[in-house]
Amino acid sequence: MKEFIFLIVLLILPTFAFAQEGREPVKEEHPIDKFLGACIEKDSSTSGMSTCTDQAQEMWDVEMNKYYKLLMKMMDKEGKEKLRASQRSWIKFRDAEFEATDSLYPHLGTMYTTLRASERLAIVKDRATTLRGYYEIWKTAKD
């Protein structure tokens, strides 16, 4: 069980680490990450961690869609078309990754359901933070 919790911490740890070398450290934990940590603290069973991670993934999906819509409002016609094409390609990538993890993890035992959920969360969170970054650039440029 300790090894399993260690693996989960390794998957979540990058959220709290430096974004990249040369950049400022993440100043404040995102509310979704806070939710995930508190949720897992309440129920650290395999099932509980999977449920918490699935809920956090859904929250990141909402966050991603929020920034996608904000960007679509700000961009010109050509930019909107390119962003839409990018998002559609990303959705195909996401779906393929989800299928791959679905085919890998069920064969390894129940504790891997949490790892599968963490993989899914990371994919959606990455896209949400990318779109948020695009939005912040556009907003700064417009101000």
pLDDT digits (tens, 9 = 90+) for 64-110: 999 999 999 999 999 999 999 999 999 999 999 999 988 887 666 77
Widest distance between CA atoms in the chain: 52
Find where tokens 């961009």 sit: 75
Classify the phi-psi angles of 28: left when phi > 0, otherwise alpha if psi is within -120 to 50, otherwise beta.
beta
Cα–Cα nearest to 75, from 134, 121, 117: 134
Minimal CA–CA distance to 129: which of 83, 87, 52, 67?
67
Can you tell me the distance from the alpha carbon of 107 to that of 16, in angstroms, rounded to the nearest whole number?
Answer: 31
Distances (CA, A) of 69 to 12, 24, 84, 87, 130: 27, 28, 10, 11, 14
Compute CA distances 7 → 56, 97, 100, 102, whole Å. Answer: 18, 20, 20, 18
Residue 28 pLDDT grade (very low, low, confident, very high; cuts 50, 70, 90):
confident
Q: What is the pLDDT of residue 21?
A: 45
Q: What is the pLDDT of residue 69?
A: 97
Q: Rounded to an integer, what distance in angstroms lies between the CA atom of residue 52 and that of residue 112?
A: 14
- 2-6+29-142 has which CATH code? 1.20.1270
- DSSP labels, 47-73: HHHHHHHHHHHHHHHHHHHHHHHHHHH
